[in-house]
Structure 1
Amino acid sequence: MQKKGRTIYQTARLYTDFTQESASERLNISCKSIGAYERGETIPPDEIVIAMVELYHTPWLPYMHLKLNNAVAKKYLPDIQLRDLSSSILDLQVEMDNTNKVQLGMATIGRDNIVDKHEETEWEKYMANLKSLGGALFSVVFSPIQKEKSPVLVHRRFEY
């Protein structure tokens, strides 16, 4: 999920235009530590990630931190796309529509609390659909919002 050497920690800092020096002062850690996190040499401890979230105003950072660094989260949390609010909402609408289309099939299989061998393949498709829906939902929750409308809307893409 990294792009051109950027880590989520560097992306978060650059999104808010902090330098490593100014961020290190506010986070009360060394520039060397920030550099190591941003190069992927070390993983920041949870308390530093919490401080980064609060300093950088990046609510998506703890989710991505867990998704990239925790075996359970890697395996079970849905992937998310970090994009602008309108794109995230459109993706959520598409995923909700897809879920509505398969809802009867899910109910038919699940109403007896048993997924038979001949139902497993179809059930796995439904579960993949729900996981995509969860990812789209988190994408909306973590999308940056503008506090007021501006004459020129700047779309910032998260790249890491």
Structure 2
Amino acid sequence: MNESCRNIYQLARNVAGLTQIEASERLGVSVRALGNYELGNTIPHGDIVADMATVYGAKWLGYEHLRLSTKLGQEILPEIDITDIAKSVLVLQKESGDVDDVKPCMIKIACDGRIDRHEEDRWDEVTKEVFEMAGAALSVVFSR
């Protein structure tokens, strides 16, 4: 399992103010199973994570579970920072400005419905900025 995935389940439980015993009872799993999830020894099934997100009041947990515990998530989902809503809002504003800066280029390249060979490097820059803005937007959505 991805090392950074090891404690997302424990973090969500702790923020919810639940002990492992309380959480395991509400989730219908053994304390041992919950401990193994929190230690990174086993990856919980998606249904368990959905229950955790509900019980813990942590919508971000499902996103982070997919991002960190699956190869596809690691490849396509942007990193988020949910620790500080004010910072998340400011980063979103900054990233939105960066997208505004590349918008004319994005429109020019996309107008003909294709990306020509000589446009590929610039398009990579455009999509990088859009990807970063997507991560920033999700950080705002999932901030506590």
TM-score, normalised with respect to structure 1: 0.84
Listed as ranges, the matches of 1:5-44 within 5 Å are 6-44=6-44
Question: How far apart in 2 are the matches of 1:83 and 1:95?
Answer: 18
- Which has the larger share of helix? 2
Question: How far apart in 2 are the matches of 1:2 and 1:62?
Answer: 17
Q: Partner of 1:82 in structure 2?
A: 82
Q: Partner of 1:153 in structure 2?
A: none
Q: Which has the higher contact order (CA 8 A, sep 6+)?
A: 1
Code of the residue aligned with 1:65 in structure 2: it is: H
**Equivalent pair of 1:84/1:143 in contact (CA under 8 Å):** yes
Question: How far apart in 2 are the matches of 1:27 and 1:114?
Answer: 49
Question: How far apart in 2 are the matches of 1:106 and 1:47?
Answer: 39
Give aligned-pair identity as a percent.
39
Which residues of structure 1 form unaligned runs of 5+?
Answer: 145-160
**Equivalent pair of 1:2/1:8 in contact (CA under 8 Å):** no
Q: Partner of 1:123 in structure 2?
A: 123
* Deviation of 1:113 (Å): 1.3
Question: How far apart in 2 are the matches of 1:9 and 1:28?
Answer: 15
Q: Partner of 1:111 in structure 2?
A: 111
RMSD: 1.5
**Per-residue deviation, residues 16-52 of structure 1 (Å, max 9, x unmatched):** 1211111111111111001100000101111111111
Listed as ranges, the matches of 1:139-154 within 5 Å are 139-144=139-144
Question: How far apart in 1 are the matches of 2:82 and 2:140?
Answer: 9
* Deviation of 1:83 (Å): 2.1
**Equivalent pair of 2:6/2:37 in contact (CA under 8 Å):** no
Question: How far apart in 2 are the matches of 1:83 and 1:66?
Answer: 19
Q: Partner of 1:92 in structure 2?
A: 92
TM-score, normalised with respect to structure 2: 0.93
**Equivalent pair of 1:53/1:62 in contact (CA under 8 Å):** yes
Question: How far apart in 2 are the matches of 1:135 and 1:100?
Answer: 16
Question: How far apart in 1 are the matches of 2:6 and 2:108?
Answer: 45
The verdict on how the C-alpha distance between 1:75 and 1:6 changes in structure 2, with shifts beyond 3 A counting, is: closer
Q: Partner of 2:51 in structure 1?
A: 51
* Deviation of 1:84 (Å): 1.8
Aligned length: 143
Code of the residue aligned with 1:116 in structure 2: it is: D
* Deviation of 1:6 (Å): 4.9
Runs (4+) off by over 2 Å: none
